[in-house]
Structure 1
Amino acid sequence: MDNVRAGGVDASGHPVERITAEGGEPLRCCLRDARPGEKLLLFGHQPPLPASPYREIGAVLAHAEPCAGPADVTGYPPDWRGRPQVLRAYDERGWIHDATIVHDGRHPEKVIAELLAEPDVVQIHSRNVAWGCYMFTITRPE
């Protein structure tokens, strides 16, 4: 995110969009919802995947200025509990796996554990249902 903030250009080479939060926008940088009036950047981001036909660039929102980041990266983001998300499962090649689902946001740890129990699933990307924004990646524990 720092390179996008500093350079003002996203993963596609397009200029970032500067917006003011209305409140509730999902922030990739700190894994929480924006508060009204916060200064944000909207830009194209390429989530971590091996080179594959499923590697893509999609929109994300982040604070315009550096922030402290997520309060906790070991648990599901509290602001997003109960929010429907697409949990897109990937295999080691970076191909989308059949286990991909839309989940209602309730009991996310249970759903994530079920997806990671699939032998070929090595990572999961959480994405916003309506806008498709990439939220975060969950990887299979080593």
Structure 2
Amino acid sequence: MTNSTTFHVHALPAAALDTVRRTGRDAADQPVEARLAGGGEPLRCCLRDAEEGEVLLLFGYPPPGAAGPYREIGPVFAHATACPGPDSAGSHPPAWRGRPQVLRAYDRQGRIHGGRLHDGTDPEAVIAELFADPAVHQLHSRNVVYGCFMFAVERTAG
């Protein structure tokens, strides 16, 4: 499927990560939890799975979006110290290609405006399909089993 939809994938913002690492507090003002990775934890700082033994933080994070009833705070993992970030900034995370995900669509008011479960083999096609609706402003990729926020996807001008 060829399409002209261009998009940008966003990991957790560096400023938000710096604040959590510096203060040891999350978005709900709760203490972050430091832990050693068992392996496989989805890291929102670099958009890959953790390797066993890496030092991680588990904390509450509010995905990007407008304030309102759909705004939430959910658990995320990140490296305890700064890392280089995603391997392929701006595109679907290569390490998560093939991973089933839910893409939840939001409008400009931060309200859910549809979504799709996909098997991960062609996430760009599902992203393009959801962005074909002009009311869709942003997508959130979500873990299928736990529902946790993985990353945000925004349309780019072009």
TM-score (norm 2): 0.86
TM-score (norm 1): 0.95
1:127 corresponds to: 142
**Greater alpha carbon shift after TM alignment, 69-78 vs 29-38:** 69-78
For the pair 1:78 / 2:57, whether they are aligned, the reply is: no
2:28 corresponds to: 12
- Percent sequence identity is 61
1:139 corresponds to: 154
Q: What are the superposed Cα offsets for residues 42-63 of structure 1, whole Å, 9 maximum, x if unpaired?
A: 1000111111210110110000
Shift >3 Å, 4+ stretches: none
How many residues get paired?
Answer: 141
List runs of 5+ in structure 1 lacking aligned partners.
none
**Alpha-carbon distance in structure 2 between the residues aligned to 1:9 and 1:67:** 19
Is the contact between residue 102 and residue 116 of structure 2 (CA under 8 Å) also seen in structure 1?
yes
**Greater alpha carbon shift after TM alignment, 113-122 vs 66-75:** 66-75
2:84 corresponds to: 68
Is the contact between residue 143 and residue 149 of structure 2 (CA under 8 Å) also seen in structure 1?
yes
Structure number with the bigger relative contact order (C-alpha 8 A, sep ≥ 6) is 2
List runs of 5+ in structure 2 lacking aligned partners.
1-16
1:48 corresponds to: 64
Partner amino acid, structure 2, of 1:31: L
Partner amino acid, structure 2, of 1:65: T
CA RMSD of the aligned region, Å? 0.9
